[in-house]
Amino acid sequence: QVQLAESGGGLVQAGGSLRLSCAASGRTFSGYSMGWFRQSPGAERELVAAIVWSGVITYYADSVKGRFTISKDSAKNTVYLQMNSLKPEDTAVYYCAADRSLITTKRGGSGVDYWGKGTLVTVSS
């Protein structure tokens, strides 16, 4: 059974940093793409960062480019999202996701194969 377990969310002041972790288990993720989505109240879910398991390809939404970095540790089967220079508008529930295809083709989240339960990030002004 595939499980994606996020951790690392919390409350941080604007300008601060957080690192989210996503521990993946239940299968080998070679060939998968992994992504971090977020959803704030009243908004649609959006893809903010993605990485192909090989690590060769990464994607960032324009709103987070230069501030967020996605990475992975294959030995630990873990994907990270380093978030720097956080802004109040980054406040959202962040979800880890995995897909057998290129997850960037599913930026709204529809049809993604696997989801974590989410972790809340709150950025205070």
Q: Where residue 29 falls among pLDDT bands split at 50, 70, 90?
A: confident
SS3 string of 17-71?
CEEEEEEEECCCCCCCEEEEEEECCCCCCEEEEEEECCCCCEEECCCCCCCEEEE
- 36-70 exposure pattern, b = at least 16 Cβ within 10 A, e = fewer: bbbeeeeeebbbbbbbbbeeeeebbbeebeeebbb
- Look at residue 54 in the predicted model and tell me its pLDDT: 78
Mean pLDDT of 87-112: 94
CA distance 49 to 119: 15
Give per-residue pLDDT as tens, 34-74.
999 999 999 999 999 999 877 778 899 999 999 999 999 98
